[in-house]
Amino acid sequence: MKSLRLILSVLLVLFLVFALSVVGLAQEENEKTEITIAGGSVGIELELTKKAARMFEEEHPNVKVDVYTTPDLSDDRKGLYLQYLETKDSTIDVFQVDVIWPGELADHFLDLNEFGAQEVADKHFESIIQNNTVDGRLVAMPWFTDAGLLYYRTDLLNKYGYSEPPATWTELEEMAKTIQAGEREENPDFWGYVWQGNAYEGLTCNALEWIYSNNGGRIINEDKEVTINNKNAVETINMAADWVGEISPPGVTGLVEESSRKMFEAGNAAFMRNWPYVYALASEEDKATAGKFDVAPLPAGENGSSSAVLGGWNLAVNKYSEYPELAAELAIFMTSEKVQKMRAVEGSFNPTIADLYEDQDVLEANPFFGDLYQVFTNTVPRPSAEAGEDYSAVSERFFQAVHSVLTGESRAEDAIAYLELGIEDILED
Ligand code: GLC
């Protein structure tokens, strides 16, 4: 009897200790400051952001970082952000922002120079710091940079007797046709060239690359004149329209980064235009492309030179955040050398810190960072600085016009002439 009582009291004490520690832990959790970062989840992006968030938490035991996932397409992501920013909402503290947005969204973000960013800013590519500086305010820290690249199947180039990737669009057309005809015998789903032809920001990037590589300009020039209505631009858009259904699937006019990546990784395309993040993913062992592809600069037009559009993402702090200092600290940490290195090695996200292009681990994981360094530092910017707050409207007019030619709804000459007037209208208002 006595011993039973003893056992029961021991059990009771144990239970009380356990219950108290659970309550204690929960309280500790509650006492943590919670901040939220909104970012992309293209490929393994989300996983890497979560990993970096855990790294920050380790250094800040009283902080919990929530990662908020956002739509893949840049245009959709901005639409979502605006719902928060326009209502001065504080839910999201740190936003992952596209390189084309600072001009449009600057008013909603804090000046990171006021939070110590100027001490680290000079490690980053100067052009991106400049891009993110609006009226003297650094509204976003560079996180990773992007440039359009040509992915190609090394095994297939070999098989069909080509020793080099195509240097011009004409060469690409010829090679794509030959490889496609050969591979179709065994694989009816095989296509020569895939790219991003859906009506969205990604098409603006693709089409600007075709046009600029053929000396057709950047839609708007540095003096803010609309230059898109020129012969080279019209010819180049016609060139791409001819690819549809010939070397590119008819559905290319609905393809985006992720869907084109999946076609390529499944072994169903000889060539693909995409951003660097695909390199790590297409190298994974379970992919048909593992060990069988490489990257090269995009082909040049007959009248011009290879051109890669500047893409990339940055971290901005919400002006309405309840924790501006902590949020700025998180943005600076996430864009630091340590985190950029991890993201480069594991996800082939291009650093914005020049030193990392000489880091052995980074180069081992991504030999092309070294080989194509010139491509990454000589990118063609979209006209976001020239169009300022009107950039999205200009880009949308542009990709809609190009899309209508790709789908055969309009003739390039008409679509471009009409586009010129449309953009002039937007810029005049
Ligand atoms: C990539 C680029 C970004 C661009 C987008 C278009 O995410 O980094 O700058 O706007 O693609 O789809």
**Taking the domains of the chain in order of start, what are their residue ranges?**
32-139+312-377, 149-307+384-428
Task: Name the residue with the closest Cα to ligand 1, atom 2.
Answer: 311
pLDDT beyond 70 at 2:
no
SS3 annotation, 19-42: HHHHHHHHHHHHHCEEEEEEECCC
Share of the chain above pLDDT 70, in %: 96
pLDDT beyond 80 at 132:
yes
- The burial of 249, by beta-carbon neighbours within 10 Å (0-12 exposed, 13-18 middle, 19 or more buried), is given as buried
Rounded-to-10 torsion of CA 273, 278, 282, 283: 130
What's the longest Cα–Cα distance across the chain?
101
Sheet holding 94-98, edge to edge: 63-69, 33-39, 94-98, 310-317, 141-147
Report the residue among 45, 73, 104, 275 best suited for mutation to probe ligand 1: largest number of ligand atoms under 8 A from its CB.
275
pLDDT beyond 70 at 187:
yes
Task: Name the residue with the closest Cα to ligand 1, atom 11.
Answer: 202
Residues with CB under 6 A from ligand 1: 74, 98-100, 146, 201-202, 205, 257, 275, 311-313
Pick the CATH number of 149-307+384-428 from 3.40.190.10, 3.40.50.720, 3.40.50.300, 3.40.309.10: 3.40.190.10
Cα 283 to ligand 1 centre (Å): 21
Q: Work out the mean pLDDT of the chain and round it to a whole number.
A: 95
Q: Cα–Cα distance between 44 and 53 in angstroms, integer?
A: 14
- Going by pLDDT thresholds of 50, 70 and 90, the confidence category of residue 415 is very high
Cα 74 to ligand 1 centre (Å): 6
Instruction: State both tokens at 24.
Output: 């204690």
pLDDT at residue number 396: 98
C-beta separation of 141 from 315 below 8 A: yes
Atom of ligand 1 nearest to the CA of 200: 12
- Going by pLDDT thresholds of 50, 70 and 90, the confidence category of residue 9 is confident
pLDDT beyond 70 at 26:
no
- Check residues 291 and 8 and name the one with the higher pLDDT: 291
Cα 138 to ligand 1 centre (Å): 21
pLDDT at residue number 23: 60
Instruction: State both tokens at 295.
Output: 């990257």
CATH 3.40.190.10 fits 32-139+312-377, yes or no: yes
Domains 32-139+312-377 and 149-307+384-428 share a fold: yes
Q: Cα–Cα distance between 237 and 208 in angstroms, integer?
A: 10
DSSP state of 299: P
- Going by pLDDT thresholds of 50, 70 and 90, the confidence category of residue 429 is confident
**The residue to which tokens 């953009």 are assigned:** 423
pTM above 0.85, yes or no: yes
DSSP state of 61: T
Among 211, 208, 230, CA closest to 382: 208
C-beta separation of 384 from 105 below 8 A: no
- Beta-strand ranges (E) seen in 275-321 are 293-296, 310-317
Cα 199 to ligand 1 centre (Å): 13
